[in-house]
Structure 1
Amino acid sequence: MLFFDEDRLNEELRDLGHWQRVAFVASCVEVLVPGYARFCEEEGVGDPDLIGNIVNQVWDGLRRPVLEGIEVPSPSSVLDSLPEEEDWNEWFPQAENAVAATSFLVELVRNNDASLAVRAANQCYEAVDELAARGIEGGLLDAEAREVLGELPLVQKELLRQQEAILELRKAVDRGYSTVVRLRDRASSGAISAS
């Protein structure tokens, strides 16, 4: 069984290069975009195009030989897309996670701080954790119930996706088109959605 281990993740992500961290965080945002879109669709608020366009621009930038030149908005303008409390629906937590991870992505593009990649990974973990918790009757209050939650397939699938992404990025010597495409495809297939 896999566990979310922030210290281990921090160590592994610190050992990667800038483009590899950006690719990892882009894969995290890719997982979260459908949950944000679902929230926006149900509430008629938010800006799913902004979040989707940012991750698309980053993926496109990762296919170029130089990471510089990726045009992304400021993290504060991304945070303007956070849902308001009065716009709550069951996808609210995933929408918050998506916006937070996207703000970490645009900040990472600008400054290469490995801790931002860890924070984005945590947003994915929190999103699937909350989504899995919805399916458990009676809620989750104690440590035993939290452990059971971590064993659920949805949570394990996301933790495995993160682990495999790091392993693939560690093996990648340069930004090969195939590496970027595989990461995005895997993230899209693991995306948080209504299913």
Structure 2
Amino acid sequence: MLKKLTVFQEVRELEGWQAVAYAATLLERMLPNYTLFCEVTEFADPSLYRNSLDAIWDWLSSPKAKINFTAQLEKIEMAVPDVADFDTYGVYPALDVAMSMTAIILLIQGEDPQGAVVVSKLSQGGVEAFIEATAEGDISDAEIKVHPLMQWEIEVQKELLVLIKKHPHSGSTCKLLKAFATEPGMTNIGIEIN
């Protein structure tokens, strides 16, 4: 449990572009979970969320970019899945993406200064829930902590903190962070990205 707390504490201390960049990078790893859910269930057009995340990256790359985040928020709120409407596990990671997207936009708008912590916890919680859902029988907290997916999640978040603190706010840093999220070719819950 100590490892988790230190990551969240460090994320809590991020401010401004660093907090948004941290959250956007984690969301970049999670987004394919939403896309896959939409493709399988025909729930919504996943490009809505892709476009919103691209707008966040644009805003990060060039802070003078004029982006109507209130309109973005309205669009994504129309495509939030209701877990009661689906009997597939995929709705949960999809909902994590929707909640993360909302948290980042509220962070940008200054309405939720802890938006990066919200996304950090949703990503890690999503991994935990996935491990529990795919385990054969009951699984202890200790077993979850040492599970390769959870170990990877914690390492990614720690490495991301180092990257964000080491690099200046720039378009090239945004490219680096996006590549960091997509290069492993897997989502936070281990689903392969084509």
Distance in 2 of aligned mates of 1:171 and 1:37 = 31
Matches of 1:13 and 1:149 in 2, distance apart? 22
- The aligned residue for residue 187 of structure 2 is 191
| Residue 24 of structure 1 pairs with residue 18 of structure 2 | no
Equivalent pair of 2:107/2:114 in contact (CA under 8 Å)? no
Q: How many residues align?
A: 187
Task: For residues 152-189 of structure 1, give each alpha carbon's deviation from its aligned partner in whole angstroms, at most 9, with x where no partner exists.
Answer: 111111111111111111122x3133321221112123
Q: How does 1:100-115 map to 2 (within 5 A)?
A: 100-111=99-110, 113-115=112-114
Alignment check: 8 A CA contact 1:28 1:101 kept? no
Determine the C-alpha separation between the residues in 2 that align with 1:59 and 1:151.
33
Normalising by structure 2, report the TM-score. Answer: 0.84
Q: TM-score, normalised by structure 1?
A: 0.84
| Deviation of 1:42 (Å) | 1.2
Provide the C-alpha distance between the structure 1 equivalents of 2:125 and 2:144, rounded to a whole number of angstroms: 11
Q: Which residue of 2 aligns with 1:59?
A: 57
**Distance in 2 of aligned mates of 1:14 and 1:129:** 20
**Cα offset for 1:9?**
4.2
- AA of the residue aligned to 2:175: V
- Take 1:50 and 1:185, find their aligned partners in 2: how far apart are those partners? 21
Is residue 2–residue 160 contact of structure 1 (8 Å, CA) maintained in 2?
Answer: no
Counterpart amino acid of 2:21?
A
Aligned counterparts, 1:9-48, within 5 A: 9=7, 11-48=9-46
Task: Indicate conservation of the 8 Å contact 2:103/2:118, yes or no.
Answer: yes
Q: CA deviation at 1:74?
A: 5.1
Runs of 4+ deviating beyond 6 Å: none
- Tell me what 1:119 maps to: 118
After TM superposition, give the deviation of residue 15 of structure 1 in Å: 3.5
1:158 corresponding residue in structure 2: 153
C-alpha spacing 1:183/1:112, structure 2 compared with 1 (3 Å): farther
Say whether 1:168 aligns with 2:154. no
Shift in CA distance, 131/14, structure 1 to aligned 2, threshold 3 Å:
closer
Aligned to 2:77: 79
The alpha-carbon distance between structure 1 residues 10 and 151, as it changes in their structure 2 partners (threshold 3 A), is: closer
Instruction: Note the alpha carbon deviations across 1:1-38, whole angstroms, 9 max, x for none.
Output: 97322xx4454234333111110110121111111111
